[in-house]
Structure 1
Amino acid sequence: MIHPPDRPTELGPGGDNAIAHAMGVAADEWTLLILRYALQDGVRRTAQWQQVLPISSAVLASRLRRMTELGLFSPVEDEEGAAYHLTPRGAALWPVLVCIWAWEARWAEGHPLCLPRMRHLVCGHQFEPCMACRTCGGLVEPREVTGSFGPSGSWPRSAPNTTMRRRSSGSANLGPGFFPESRALIGNRWSAAMLGAAYLGAHRFSEFQRRLGAPATVIADRLRTFRSLGVLEVLGDADRTDRHHYRLTDKGRAFFPVVMSAIEWGQRWFLAPEGPAVVFRHRGSDHPFSVLLLCSACSRPLTGKEMTVD
């Protein structure tokens, strides 16, 4: 299916919803890296991407073809050959990339090199994105956001059935721009769904399994991974796994803007006939919640064209 680059895709009833489509894009590291250079540095041609990324011609061609089908790029032929121009749909992914970049720089361990800091061109200062409520403008902590499934929301419909093939963990050193821990959190359908369940209040093994309908071995493996990354901590009887209570850590809660930005992008560009997949509200208020990213240095709203990296 070819997705229109400048208007939302109308989905069929009963299939993958907006969350599944969003995670199918955000879970692929090569896609994020290709977008990162297109958004930040204006890269448009295959030779330019290959200068900044250790990516083979075949993998790059495959990703660009798929990203064009998704409506993220519009290919144009000119006197220098093929160029891939960002579409409104592709450019709208900048909040996801900014939130991943900031989270990896703040929380992830084991980067080959330190990630460069982001700089806000409006105020000239280095910054981190701060999550605020677009309705009231106030800064918001993850605990202050509540979510529930909407008319097209369910765990089976929200977990992407397929994602683009990702690099193996033993691949070459990518240096700055490599998102290792983010990939572990949203890099496959079960990881993304598990993280979503944790944000929506799942605390016990049985709750994760009941909500997701995943095999027990998958749930156990993801819980071990999330614990090893420091995203979840376990409380309760150490000798009784059935009594374990899993709780998000500060590191786990800090990833919430990544997930929110991806879901909002998905619900903007993929419309199910039944209605939205998930509905968020600002806890303690009477209004819905949507993400507004502010500069930590000047408190002004961020836009995709007003940032660079040092």
Structure 2
Amino acid sequence: MARQQLLAQSECPVARTLEAIGDRWALMIIRDAFDDVRRFSEFQKRLGLAKNILSAKLKRLVELGVLEIQPASDGSAYKEYVLTDMGRAAFPIVVSLRQWGERFLFAQGEEHSVLLDNERAEPVETIVVRSTAGALLTPADCHRKLVTRGR
């Protein structure tokens, strides 16, 4: 527990992000929410996750502000889990993970899904890191600096 508190309070944004949404189930829930899954039963069916674990993960994502609970869009008595602005901002994270997996984790000729844009039905462009001037950046082209938020 002490190590988790250290990660949650780390000056490193990667460590804090991993502590917040870095476990596989949280990311799979977020992925499914991007696919318009909204109800507990739909998440449970797609993920095959035990109800108590799914409940805890959804509760945590709501507490973090990644998801919010809303009345069902069809007017039924059900509640739905909907991505917030914070949750929708995780889209590039999920796409980056997807693209890394597509590139390195499938053998030649192995079937897998791809992400297509709705307008052109073409695979989305590979996410890259660029400078504000538009130059492609590698890890060797970057460094970290400690700053204070709001200053």
Residue deviations 1:249-298, cap 9 Å, x none?
11111112122212211221122466243211122014211333354622
**Quick one: structure 1 residues 169 and 282, their matched pair in 2 at CA, closer, same or farther if it must change by over 3 Å?**
same
- String of CA shifts for 1:109-164, please: whole Å, max 9, x gaps: xxxxxxxxxxxxxxxxxxxxxxxxxxxxxxxxxxxxxxxxxxxxxxxxxxxxxxxx
Q: 2:16 aligns with which of 156, 167, 180?
A: 180
Instruction: Name the counterpart of 1:96.
Output: none
Alignment of 1:1-310 (within 5 A): 168-171=3-6, 175-177=10-12, 179-187=15-23, 189-236=24-71, 243-272=78-107, 275-293=110-128, 295=130, 297-310=132-145
Looking at both structures, which has the greater relative contact order when contacts are Cα pairs under 8 Å and sequence separation is at least 6?
Answer: 1
How far apart, CA to CA, are the structure 2 residues paired with 1:306 and 1:182? 24
Tell me which structure has the larger Cα radius of gyration: 1
Is the 2:21–2:27 Cα contact (8 Å) retained in structure 1? yes
Deviation of 1:305 after TM superposition, in Å, equals: 2.8
Identity among equivalent pairs (%)? 28
Root-mean-square deviation (CA), in Å?
2.8
TM-score with structure 1 setting the length: 0.40
Q: Which has the higher strand share?
A: 1
TM-score by length of 2: 0.76
Please identify which structure carries the higher helix content.
2
Amino acid at match of 1:222: K
CA deviation after TM superposition for structure 1 residue 235, in Å: 0.9
Aligned mates of 2:64, 2:7 — CA distance in 1: 21
Contact kept in structure 2, 1:234 and 1:247, CA below 8 Å? yes
In structure 2, the residue corresponding to 1:233 is in which secondary structure? strand
**Residue-pair matches, total:** 140
